[in-house]
Amino acid sequence: MTSATLPSVGFIGLGDQGLPMAIAIAEAGYPLHAWARRAGSLDALAGVHHVRHGDMASLAAASEIVCLCVSTDEDVMALLTGGLLAGLRPGSVVVNHGTGTPSAAVACAEACAVAGVEFLDAPVSGARVGAEARTLTTMVGGPVAVAQRCEALFRTFSAHVVHLGGHGAGEIAKLFNNTLMMMNQANVAEIVDLARLAGVEPTGLVEVIKQGSGSSRALELIPVHSAVNLEAALERPMAALRIDLELFDATMQELHVDAETVTARAALGAGRVPELVRTLNP
């Protein structure tokens, strides 16, 4: 496709991860349309070719695909019912890139269907660094044909795009991913405990393991010899971990799956992150 034939893309949610995703979309040649509750948030797109919109309805009317990168399922539904669906043309696609529950994804898809609009849940993994490097993993739930229609768009900011099934499949994959990372954080904390008891300097050990077969994404994300304000740096990711674990637990209960042991292990891992970071950054 040339830039003249690429679908127009609306983007809402220019936060820590959404902003570099939107920039990647624009720099790949897609006509980018942006709206934000606070107009000042759009200043972050300065220097990137895009069209600013003063209201959600005009963004919807100009877009064939609308990407949402907002905090909660409630935020997504509020956008859909607060003007987005009313402005979208039938056949348009709404994509939720945020982390949520499978049941909420199904509810959003049903709301979209009433308006003749397609819906995909397509949460991403890789954090801001992955978005900036355009190496995110995008986990897609929804109809195959719609996922294929959006795949090239997703590849502007992703190294891996995987279609996992119907509505909600992307969200449940993301919840499993995040829960496993938290469980691995518990493993890291316990190895550091053992190292200290054995008289092994833990910082050097962690740096070595990061380069070896024992490494994991959970370990790679633990800073070592960091000069930043660790307490401030941890505040947002710790809040996100707690929310993700609540979503996982709620989903497992909704599906009548006994995940009590897994949830407890993940909670242990997430809870030990601040202590672990302080230990490795004396």
Which regions of the chain carry the CATH code 3.40.50.720?
9-166
CA distance 89 to 183: 43
Say if residue 269's pLDDT is above 70. yes
CB 179 within 8 A of CB 202: no
What is the structure's pLDDT at 259?
98
Q: Classify domain 173-280 by CATH number.
A: 1.10.1040.10
Least confident of 183-197, 219-233, 262-276: 219-233
What is the structure's pLDDT at 3?
57
Buried residues in 52-88 as b, exposed as e (16+ CB within 10 A):
ebeebbbbbbbbbbbbbbbeebebbbebbeebbbebb
- For residue 124, give the nearest of 151, 99, 150, 155 by alpha carbon: 99
What is the structure's pLDDT at 282?
80
pLDDT, tens digit (0-9, with 9 covering 90-100), for 66-121? 999 999 999 999 999 999 999 999 999 999 999 999 999 999 999 999 999 999 99
Which regions of the chain carry the CATH code 1.10.1040.10?
173-280
pLDDT, tens digit (0-9, with 9 covering 90-100), for 240-257? 899 999 999 999 999 999
What is the structure's pLDDT at 57?
95
CATH topology of domain 9-166: Rossmann fold (3.40.50)
pLDDT, tens digit (0-9, with 9 covering 90-100), for 194-236? 999 999 999 999 999 999 999 999 999 888 877 677 777 788 8
- For residue 173, give the nearest of 104, 237, 101 by alpha carbon: 101
CA distance 219 to 142: 32
Average pLDDT over residues 120-142: 96
Helical (H) or strand (E) element with 231? helix 230-254
SS3 content of the chain, % helix, strand, coil (to 5): 55, 15, 30
Mean pLDDT of the chain: 95
Amino acid at 95: V
Catalytically annotated residues? 174
What is the structure's pLDDT at 200?
96
CA distance 51 to 42: 10
Strands 93-96 and 65-68: parallel
Where residue 4 falls among pLDDT bands split at 50, 70, 90? low
Report which of residues 172 and 232 the model is more confident about.
172
Average pLDDT over residues 59-63: 98
What residues are paired with 125 via a beta bridge?
137
Could you tell me where the beta strands, DSSP code E, fall in the chain?
A: 9-12, 32-34, 51-52, 65-68, 93-96, 118-121, 124-125, 136-141, 158-165
Amino acid at 122: A
